[in-house]
Amino acid sequence: MEKVKVSLLLSNPNNPRVIKDDKFKKLVNSIKEFPEMLEARPVVVNPDMVVLGGNMRLKALREAGVKEAPVYIASWDEIKQKRFIITDNVGYGEWDWDMLANEWDAEELGIWGLDVWQPEEEVDYSALDNLEGLDENVSEMEENVKSAIQIEFESEDYENAKQVIKELRKKDVYIGGLVYMHLKQVLEEL
């Protein structure tokens, strides 16, 4: 790990993560209030100084006016770099919400960037006063609900399938119906 000028670090144009305004402000504040955190979690870059892990931190470092930041320079091949970008951002674990509710301060957790339930000061229940036609509205909403199925492709077919789906969507074709009908036909032929 070494310290590098923040101005030399390059945001990754292929970073699939985004940060919303409120969370970004919390990240900037956490860097200002707890800069020691950066030493424990350096920005990961490739030898060209392109960020592999820590794009949001880099953005926040710039906003906070930090001039130098600890970095880890990873000399990995392109496949490992892409893999790291994703696996570094995947949340493998889950929060123990009971422990958080009973042993942690909800306000502090919120300040630190964890979305926790906060009771509303005053709840407006007036929308429940007029329930006439509610069953019809719910039925209509249920009819318009869509579901998704993930379909795996061999790598050599993936790009072509992606392009075909893109073209069908442009023509407003119901792709789910096409897939269902074809799968049903294949099943009958087996």
Read off the pTM. 0.56
Would you call 10 helix, strand, or coil by DSSP? strand
Q: What is the pLDDT of residues 137-165, one digit of tens each?
A: 666 777 667 677 778 888 788 888 888 88
Picking from 61, 62, 44, the residue whose alpha carbon sits closest to that of residue 53 is 44
Identify residue 50 by its one-letter amino acid code: V
CATH number at residue 44: 3.90.1530.10
Taking residues 24-47, what's their average pLDDT?
92
Residue 30 lies in a domain: yes
| Ramachandran angles phi, psi of 120, nearest 5° | -70, 145
Task: Give the domain-ending residue among 69, 87, 105.
Answer: 87
For residue 50, tell me if it sits in a domain.
yes
Spatial distance between the Cα atoms of 3 and 10, rounded to a whole number of angstroms: 15
Task: Kindly state whether residue 111 falls inside one of the protein's structural domains.
Answer: no
Q: What is the pLDDT of residues 55-76, one digit of tens each?
A: 999 999 999 999 999 999 999 9
Q: Residue 129: inside a domain, yes or no?
A: no
Asked, for residue 171, whether it belongs to a domain, the answer is yes
Whole domain around residue 172: which residue ranges? Answer: 155-189
